[in-house]
Structure 1
Amino acid sequence: MTFSEMMNIGLMQGFAGLSLFAVLLLMGLGLAIIFGQMGVINMAHGEFMTIGAYTVFMASTLVEAHAPAWMPYYFPLSIAAAFVFAFVLGWLAEWALIRHLYKRPLDTLLATWGLSLGLQQVFRTVIGPKEVSPTLPEWLMGSWSPSEGLDIPINGMFVLALALLVTAGVLIALYRSRWGLRVRATVSNRVMANAIGINTKKTDRLTFAIGCGVAGIAGAAFTTIGSTGPTSGSLYIVDSFLVVTFGGAASLLGTVASAFGIAQVQSISEFFLSGSMAKVLTLSFIVVVLMFRPQGLFASKVRR
């Protein structure tokens, strides 16, 4: 194998890592908003990702059956729909369940785990137990070949661009909007935020719903690189918590850096090792770093 071929393989594996990075980043962003900003352990976060993926699948099925002329255009609209459906369900979940369990992390863990199992059963009943995939528009198919022997999939580039766009939107909203100001004030000092007139309960509900909506976008992006089943989201929940914990629970910058590092280590090591050994190597790397920095890579200074 020539040096050029090795370079091309390395670049393609690196880009495969970027596709995984995009999904982990979107999942981690939603979880960082919920876990990092609110302290809620949401074990059903993966199911909100699955809701987004199933939204794209259902949109694809309906458009293909009743309006095939819209096939080139349905995908961006279904991403927006995935956010809306996950946002609404997250709002209802916070109102019906989560708001009664604040400051009780173990209770939220058990309650959201039960919600996760319930949603999985709903998926099996409504959609079916088998994995499904949407029919993607033609402009998402194929690959880009900047040089001979190097093929970069177009859907991977789209997912990466979507992840960066959503990340920029979340950062702008967190630091340049009234909602972001309320969230940061609540995280800094909840009692003082209440004292100056911020409705922290409404802020919590909106924050939880936005985090779930971002997970819905992650699910929509996931459909471009994998099939979806009732338990697809639960396969990513552990990795998502690793991303948030490794980066720093209250740091969105840490979430970005952590998602990139974990995805690249796992993707490149999978080329040389088996999938399980690559996972062990990734976890070992995280454990070693957390031994020296238990607060994560980019810990935020928060007043208690």
Structure 2
Amino acid sequence: MFAEYSASELTAIFAMQGFAGLILFSVLVLMALGLAIIFGQMGVINMAHGEFMILGAYITYLTSNVFAEYLPSLFVGYFFVAMVLAFGVTFLLGMAVEWGLIRFLYKRPLDTLLATWGLSLILQQLYRTIFGAREVGVSLPDWMMGSYALTDIIEVPINGIFVMILTLVIALSVYWLMYRSGWGRQVRAVVQNRPMASAVGINTEKVDRVTFGLGCGIAGIAGSAFTMVGSTGPTSGQLYIVDTFLVVVFGGAQSLLGTIASAFSISQAQSTMEFFLSGSMAKVLTLLFVVGILMLRPQGLFAMKIRH
């Protein structure tokens, strides 16, 4: 497999695929952070998580069109507006879904799986009706175009660098929110002992609603980032939902550090193997490796101790 390449070519291949893996890692981390909050903190299996991501992508697409048509002089900064709108809309929709559907299904994981799977089908058809079945892409501002040459044969796209920086900022923000803020302490108190948290005055229903909304909002931001590296279609979210669940379970459902470490491992493995093997074979080998690790360590790479 490697014999037909020289040492310098292999170095360049591993470097380029490693960077491509970092871009995939960025999207997976943004998706998985939202899912880790929903699944890890609330125990809800949200099969519509990919559709929340695609909603954020469509909002970014619409925002780019509005700026290009009516505010061309401000087009250079449209993405930041789109990202805020994507977060706001998906956050509010997530809170509405929790209020109208999820709150009746707590402690019934299979029911949440079926209900959110049905919601994902509804959202897919809604996107298909509004935006059409064809995939759409956004126009990037000039400062995101092009690539940066690391060496004579290794180049990295500027929009990929931007996505990675965005991921780092969001990950640090989530860490601060979950482990350094008062609201994060309330969330962890509810996770560890819901009756006691309620007894000391924490509004557990509000914590659940905001937590679900936050997870969906982060998925919306992931959708904005996704438009930088791929085209958007009604079913695009389904391409990432399995990998995202894999990342969360492999890393440890209640560990943000585990989520990041798992996303890095899976994205790098898939990106490198896809160059030498087919994409489907790369996914199969990655899945087999993860299943093997989970057989030895069912709680995932990292696990948080929970009081019952």
- TM-score, length-normalised on structure 2? 0.97
Letter of the aligned partner of 1:221 in structure 2?
Answer: A
Letter of the aligned partner of 1:294 in structure 2?
Answer: P
Question: Structure 2: 5+ residue runs without aligned partners?
Answer: none
Q: Does 1:142 align with 2:155?
A: no
- Where does residue 80 of structure 1 map in the other structure? 84
CA–CA distance in structure 2, aligned partners of residues 87 and 23 of structure 1: 18
Aligned partner of residue 147 in structure 1, secondary structure: coil
CA–CA distance in structure 1, aligned partners of residues 22 and 119 of structure 2: 31
- Where does residue 192 of structure 2 map in the other structure? 188
CA–CA distance in structure 2, aligned partners of residues 69 and 129 of structure 1: 31
Letter of the aligned partner of 2:182 in structure 1?
Answer: R
CA–CA distance in structure 2, aligned partners of residues 248 and 273 of structure 1: 29
Question: Alpha-carbon deviations, 1:143-174, whole Å to 9, x = none?
Answer: 00022111011111111111111000000000
Deviation >4 Å, runs of 4+ = none
- Where does residue 56 of structure 1 map in the other structure? 60
- The equivalent position to 1:168 in structure 2, one of 157, 163, 172, is 172
Q: Percent identity?
A: 62
CA–CA distance in structure 2, aligned partners of residues 6 and 297 of structure 1: 30
Deviation at residue 5 of structure 1 after TM alignment: 2.7
- Where does residue 254 of structure 2 map in the other structure? 250
Deviation at residue 301 of structure 1 after TM alignment: 0.5
CA–CA distance in structure 2, aligned partners of residues 142 and 76 of structure 1: 19
- The equivalent position to 1:133 in structure 2, one of 134, 137, 151, is 137
- Where does residue 278 of structure 2 map in the other structure? 274
CA–CA distance in structure 2, aligned partners of residues 116 and 6 of structure 1: 41
- Where does residue 224 of structure 1 map in the other structure? 228
Letter of the aligned partner of 1:274 in structure 2?
Answer: S
Letter of the aligned partner of 1:139 in structure 2?
Answer: W
Question: Alpha-carbon deviations, 1:184-237, whole Å to 9, x = none?
Answer: 000010010001000001000000000000000000000000000000111111
Deviation at residue 2 of structure 1 after TM alignment: 3.8
CA–CA distance in structure 2, aligned partners of residues 12 and 141 of structure 1: 18
- Where does residue 5 of structure 1 map in the other structure? 9
Aligned partner of residue 72 in structure 1, secondary structure: helix
Question: Alpha-carbon deviations, 1:32-52, whole Å to 9, x = none?
Answer: 000000000001000000011
Letter of the aligned partner of 2:54 in structure 1?
Answer: T
Q: Does 1:26 align with 2:50?
A: no
Letter of the aligned partner of 1:238 in structure 2?
Answer: V
CA–CA distance in structure 1, aligned partners of residues 129 and 182 of structure 2: 40
Figure out how many residues of one structure are paired with residues of the other and give that number: 304
Q: Does 1:93 align with 2:87?
A: no
Question: Alpha-carbon deviations, 1:237-285, whole Å to 9, x = none?
Answer: 1111000000001111100000000000000011110111101110011
Deviation at residue 141 of structure 1 after TM alignment: 0.9
Question: Structure 1: 5+ residue runs without aligned partners?
Answer: none
Aligned partner of residue 71 in structure 1, secondary structure: helix
Deviation at residue 4 of structure 1 after TM alignment: 2.4
CA–CA distance in structure 1, aligned partners of residues 7 and 72 of structure 2: 46
- TM-score, length-normalised on structure 1? 0.99
Deviation at residue 80 of structure 1 after TM alignment: 1.2
CA–CA distance in structure 1, aligned partners of residues 100 and 204 of structure 2: 17
Deviation at residue 6 of structure 1 after TM alignment: 2.1
Please tell me the root mean square deviation across aligned C-alpha atoms, in Å.
Answer: 0.8
CA–CA distance in structure 2, aligned partners of residues 7 and 59 of structure 1: 40
Q: Does 1:234 align with 2:238?
A: yes
Q: Does 1:289 align with 2:296?
A: no
Aligned partner of residue 76 in structure 2, secondary structure: coil
CA–CA distance in structure 2, aligned partners of residues 84 and 197 of structure 1: 28
